[in-house]
Every structure is written in C-alpha cells, then in structure tokens.
Structure 1
Amino acid sequence: MTFAPANAGISSLKPYQPGKPISELERELGITDIVKLASNENPLGCSESVKQAVSDAIAEIGRYPDGGGFILKDQIEKQFGFGHAHITLGNGSNDLLEMFARAFVSEKDSVVYSQHAFAVYSLVAQAINAEAIEVPAKGFAHDLAAMAAAVKENTKLIFIANPNNPTGTWFEEAEFEQFMQQVPAHVIVVLDEAYVEYFPENFNSLKFLKQYPNLIVSRTLSKCYGLAALRVGFALASVEVTDYLNRIRQPFNVNHLAMVAAVAALQDTAFIELSREVNKAGMKQLEDGVTALGLSYVPSRANFLLIDVQADPAATFNALLKEGVIVRPVGIPNHLRVSIGTESENAKFLTALAKVLGREAKA
C-alpha cells in the first residue's frame, strides 16, 4: 500500500521512551520482587480520599465527561486564585506541552530549551518540524541568561523547568525575573513545574503571571499528588493565551474519573505534606547511601536523584534490572536517574547498586 509520507519532522522522530514497567520486567526475567524507581512516581500512591472519590464516581463512567472541566477548574480557582478563563486542562502535562507548541509554533519558527532538559521539549519541536535551539547547560542546570540570549527573530516558544527533569536542578525567583525581563514580550515562556510541590518554599511562580502575559505555568498531578495513572494536569496563563489553547484542546482530554480524583487530591493537603516528608527523608537516605559508596550526585529539589555511577549507565541499568531494581538512563554519561521510593525500596536500590558496581559502603 502506498500513502503520503509523514510530515518532515515526524519521519525522523524517535518516540518518547517511558520508564520500564514492572510487568515487562516480570515477563522478561521472571522476577517478582521488583522495585520501580524509574518514573518519579509517588511511592505512597494516591490518598485514601482520592480512592474513595473515584469509587463513588464509578457509576458515571457511561457518560461523557464535562468537556469544560468545571469541577476541576473550580477547585483550581479556589486553591490558586485564577479564574476559569485562565485555566487549561491537560491529559497530564505532556498533553499540555504539545498543546503549547501546536498553538504557537510553526515549521518556520524556533523553540528554545536547555541541554539536559525534559526530552519531550525537543520531541514536540521536532514533530512540528520547527527549528530546535538547545542551549548548553550550566553544569547540570539551566543557563537562563544564555537561553534568553539564544532567542532569535523567529523564536516563538521557550521551555524551562523548575525543578528540572532529569537533573533535579532549580533556579531562584530573582534569576527567573531577570530572564523574563530579557525575553521579548511576543515569545511564549513555558514554565514546567511538574515537581514544584516537593519544595514549594523555593519559588512562587504564580505571582509572575499577571506581570508577564507571555508566561504559561504548567503543572501535573502525576507526581506529588499520586495520580500518574489517571493523567491530569493544568496550565495557568493570561486569558488571551488560554483562549488560544482551549481552541485546540480536545473537548474530553481529561476523563471524568481523573477530574474527580484531581479535585480530591488537591483538597487533601495532609497527604501532600506526608508525601513531602517521605520524599525529604528518602532523599537524605539516597544521598547518604550514595556518598557512602564513594559516588556523587546532583543536588535535587524534585523527587529523584541524578547519580554519577562512575560506570556505563546502560550496563549499570541492565545489571540493576537483574537485581529487580528499575531505574532510568537519561542520556547523560555515567549518570542514572533514581526516583525516591519508600525506605525499604531505597535500601534495596542501594544494596543492588553496591553489588553491581562492586563497592562497599563506608561508615
């Protein structure tokens, strides 16, 4: 069968590769005692209030969801102070990232993002066949000054993340404000805050939204809120930007159970606080354990740690799989990204890492 070739950007596109599922490793190696620390999921799962809310809503699955997402937008407005006209809902934040590019970027335009940033930024630029401008990182972090300087006449969109995935690095408000002042007003800046809930004291992005109409703040409920399987995120922006986004948003892109769960998750502040405490304790456990093995890591303000294993990451990843531990190679030489798990999951990883690297922990 013959058919028209795919768009230029798509023909050479390599799909995003998510973290290896537990079920896949079980099939491949017949291992049942598996720890997955690959996808930055909340090791506590979701809250009990979320489970109850979803259970109560099961009877409604024969109906289409509210395409406007009223109940979720209402909760977002109560919690963050932005009305419905400023909110765009997404099937996870990945859906939103693609939406931003589709709304504002053509193949004649360019997109700016950092080296060592979330892989989806480059993928959405390539899918549109836009010019991709990858700015070298400063160490493992965004070089915001260099990113602002990299803007060209045809630049329409800049992706930045705080904290950044997969490095865990972050920037402060003063650096961000200086960056925004340098970016031309017609260039859309996407601030991806998928992990902001873990260290919210570091940065208050929302206060910048009224000052900069070209700013979009993107968030997800897949991480700290524990709703990864349901895929729900939201973006906050000016009324004008939001209007454009909602013109191309699929009307039922967030399903009803996801919205019900999201409302319950946003209301359960006690669960979020517990998730932060578990994450900070787990972060220290991994930091101490990695240091005891004579290894180094990139300081993180997310729910994962980028570790220098001083070895081939692919070989180390595969060796860890045989020990029943799934982590994540992220394309950075000698480094693996490891999600923060429960105390026992973290301990299993550290034991497995010591074994596959042939190292002994030092007191």
Structure 2
Amino acid sequence: MKWKKQILDLQAYQPGKSIDEVKKQYQLDSIVKLASNENPFGYPSAVDQALKEFHSSFMLYPDGGAIKLREATASLLGVDNNQLIFTNGTDELVQIISRALLEPGKNTVMATPTFPQYKHNAVIEGAKIREVELVNGSHDLNEMISVIDENTAVVWVCSPNNPTGSYIAVNELRYFLERVPKDVLVVLDEAYYEYVTNSYHSLDFINEFPNLIIMRTFSKMYGLASFRVGYGISSVSNIQQLEPARPPFNTNVLGQITASVAISDQDFVEKCRVRNAIERERYYTFCQENNLHYYPSQGNFILIDLQRDGDEVSQFLLSKGLIVRSGKLLGFPTSVRITIGLEEQNERVRIALKDFIEDVSGRVKISHQHN
C-alpha cells in the first residue's frame, strides 16, 4: 500500500476507558467518568421533548445546510447566517481547516501542550509544525508571533486551553490579532467558551479581523457530546472558502434538532456556568490545603500535579471507580486532568486523592526507614 509517509508513525486518538470497561475490570457497581470534560449537569430539558416529537424518516439525508440550527445560532450570536459552518464536532472543523490550508511547504503555529488534534491533522497534511511552549500554563503569544513567517498558513489558539484551562484576556487577544499577518488564518478554539466567568467577548473581533475563525461546540456546556455538532464563526468569504472541504451531510438530523433546541436555553447555560465555577473553587481549596500545584481554570476541568506518574494516579483512581485523564498523553506527565463533576462526585474524587497522597506518603516513610 502507498500510505502517506507522515501517517506511518501517527497514533490514533486514544479515548479514556468506558464506564462498562471499568465496571468489568474492577468489579465495581458505581463508576464516575470525569475524563472527557462532558457536562455532568446533562443538557437542556427541552431536548428530550424535541426528540420525542421527531417523526421524520431516517431514510432521508439530513438538511445539508443545517438551516434551522444555522438560524438559531446566528440569532443568538448576532451574526449573519452565512458566517457559520457546521461540522461533526469541532474535531471535524480542525480537519477541514487543515485540509483547506495546510500542505507540504506550509507551516502552522500552535502552543504546546494544547489540544492534540491541531498537530495531528497538520502532520497528515504534510505541513511543518512550529510549537511554542506554554508559560505557566498559558499561551506565549509574543513568541508565537515571532515564529510566524511567509510560509505560515494557520495559527491555532485554544482559549480556555485544553488541558490547562487558562484563557486569553480580550486585550491580549487584540494585541495578538493586530500583529498576525492578514494572510494567516487565526483559529480561536473556544470549545469551553460558555464556562468562562470573566468578561470575554471574542465575537466582537470577527468583523474587525477577517483572518479570524472561532470554533465552538455543543459537546461541552450544552451536554450533547453524543450528537457531535460543532461550528465555526468567521467572515462570509472564509466560510465560502472552507465549505468545499466540508463533507456533504456531515451533521446528522438528530444533532441538528437537539443543538437548535439547546442553544435557545441560555438559562441552562448560566446555571451550569455558576455551578461549575463553585465546584471548581472547591478543587482550588483542596489543592491549596494539600500543597498541590494546579492551574486556575476557566473550563470545566482542572489539571492537578501530584508529583507522581500520571498513569499511577489515574490507575489508583480507577480502582476506586473514578475515571480521570492521565496527564502523560497531555504533556503533563505527573498530573491528572479531572472534569468538574457534580458536588458528590467531586467530593469522592478529593477523598480518593487524599487517600493517594497518604498512601504515597506512607510508602515514602517505610522506604526511608529501610534505608
């Protein structure tokens, strides 16, 4: 087979263990999954009603233009219908952007560590990758600007950043956008935008900076991860250029219906944002009390450094029926990334983390005595 040479060493995306896998492996009844940054508060209640009322035939293709969802989203955001592109999750939008702009001879700039699909797709397209180390968990925007050259096609900015949760303040974002060359597409990945509690209105920049596209999703705050609907917001001309790289009928009929219903319930979004922030603060307090390093997060997750192998920590939590994400694959080998869950779920995690700390401390004491 004549495979592209660049995919020979690529690894497929590794999802975390499923609830059923952990139940079977550890013979446990109660499993809590806090590894994929899903919304523990569920989704707007009107979604269930919309699904009950769905009577169309599954033999028909979905609306290729996602018209109802397009109108609902444009109305909420205050943008033109033609400034939106809808995709099978933002993963597909990353793929579409890479397919449309990256190729051998071009390069792309991104932070590291950040969402790994930017790099993954750039590798597949044969583009050179320029990674700029985070500083205290945040994008080093000045350094990112400095590595852009005439062959740079795309710059990726993740805010809040996955896995650290740091976000880019509006004044910093403006400074950055003013300095990026106008023929370089800036992709602002805002998968966790709805969780940000600080004042933050990146949409104001869409008309001011024609080289900006913002990515958002219905998988996180709206609780519709199963339906795989993401979208991009940009200038009409950028969307027109991207559309030919989008597969036809790429968002499914149920995804379009549930997303268009969910986006109309902003009370749900506000309640989840507040509850998430309260639970996030409880993790901060826990980390401070136990001298654990963490990054202040504007997402629905927290990255905690336990100064032990991340796989060891996540395996310990697995044995307690708690699925979290080891930091090893995320670029933070001694950390775990924990999705902010319900109050009782978070308490269960903190108790388990305390047990882990005491377990390690006990082993260290015994080791010292033997020496």
Structure 2 partner of 1:335: 335
The aligned runs of 1:229-268 (5 Å cut-off) are 229-268=226-265
Shift of 1:357: 2.3
Deviations 1:87-119 (A, max 9, x none): 100111111111111111112211110011111
- State whether structure 2 residue 284 is matched by structure 1 residue 314: no
Deviations 1:133-163 (A, max 9, x none): 1011112110011101110221100100111
User: What letter matches 1:45 in structure 2?
Assistant: G
Shift of 1:291: 2.4
Structure 2 partner of 1:92: 89
SS in 1 for 2:121: helix
Structure 1 partner of 2:364: none
Structure 1 partner of 2:295: 298
User: What letter matches 2:350 in structure 1?
Assistant: L
Q: How many equivalent pairs are there?
A: 357
- State whether structure 2 residue 168 is matched by structure 1 residue 171: yes
Shift of 1:61: 2.7
User: What letter matches 1:351 in structure 2?
Assistant: I
- State whether structure 2 residue 143 is matched by structure 1 residue 138: no
Change (3 A) 1:58 1:117: farther
Structure 2 partner of 1:120: 117
Deviations 1:181-221 (A, max 9, x none): 11111000000000110125432111111111110000001
The 2-side partners of 1:9 and 1:219 are apart by 29
Answer whether contact 1:290 1:350 (CA < 8 A) is retained: no
Answer whether contact 1:93 1:218 (CA < 8 A) is retained: yes
User: What letter matches 2:206 in structure 1?
Assistant: L
RMSD (CA atoms) = 1.4
SS in 2 for 1:267: coil
- State whether structure 2 residue 59 is matched by structure 1 residue 70: no
Answer whether contact 1:68 1:251 (CA < 8 A) is retained: no
The 1-side partners of 2:12 and 2:212 are apart by 28
Deviations 1:220-274 (A, max 9, x none): 0111111111110110111111011111111211101001100111001111111
Deviations 1:330-349 (A, max 9, x none): 23132111110000100110
Answer whether contact 1:10 1:129 (CA < 8 A) is retained: no
Correspondent of 1:270 among 255, 267, 271: 267
The aligned runs of 1:281-296 (5 Å cut-off) are 281-296=278-293
Give the TM-score normalised by the residue count of structure 1.
0.95
Answer whether contact 1:316 1:357 (CA < 8 A) is retained: no
User: What letter matches 1:345 in structure 2?
Assistant: Q
Deviates more, 1:196-205 or 1:92-101: 196-205
Structure 1 partner of 2:350: 350
SS in 1 for 2:227: coil
Answer whether contact 1:106 1:130 (CA < 8 A) is retained: yes
- State whether structure 2 residue 193 is matched by structure 1 residue 192: no
Which structure 1 residue ranges, 4+ long, deviate > 3 Å from structure 2?
A: none
Shift of 1:297: 1.0
User: What letter matches 2:234 in structure 1?
Assistant: A
User: What letter matches 1:348 in structure 2?
Assistant: R
The 1-side partners of 2:359 and 2:24 are apart by 29
The aligned runs of 1:4-83 (5 Å cut-off) are 4=2, 6-57=3-54, 59-83=56-80
Structure 2 partner of 1:104: 101
Answer whether contact 1:8 1:129 (CA < 8 A) is retained: no
SS in 2 for 1:31: coil
The 1-side partners of 2:345 and 2:55 are apart by 32
The 2-side partners of 1:211 and 1:60 are apart by 43
Unmatched 5+ stretches in structure 2: 361-371
Give the TM-score normalised by the residue count of structure 2.
0.93
User: What letter matches 1:44 in structure 2?
Assistant: F
SS in 1 for 2:35: coil
The 1-side partners of 2:164 and 2:245 are apart by 32
SS in 1 for 2:16: coil
Deviates more, 1:177-186 or 1:195-204: 195-204
User: What letter matches 2:100 in structure 1?
Assistant: A
The 2-side partners of 1:232 and 1:218 are apart by 11
The 1-side partners of 2:79 and 2:197 are apart by 18
User: What letter matches 1:55 in structure 2?
Assistant: K
Answer whether contact 2:71 2:81 (CA < 8 A) is retained: yes
Structure 2 partner of 1:129: 126
Deviations 1:9-35 (A, max 9, x none): 211111222232212212322222111
SS in 2 for 1:229: helix
The 2-side partners of 1:206 and 1:255 are apart by 26
SS in 1 for 2:226: coil
Structure 2 partner of 1:210: 207
Shift of 1:359: 6.6
Answer whether contact 2:84 2:233 (CA < 8 A) is retained: yes
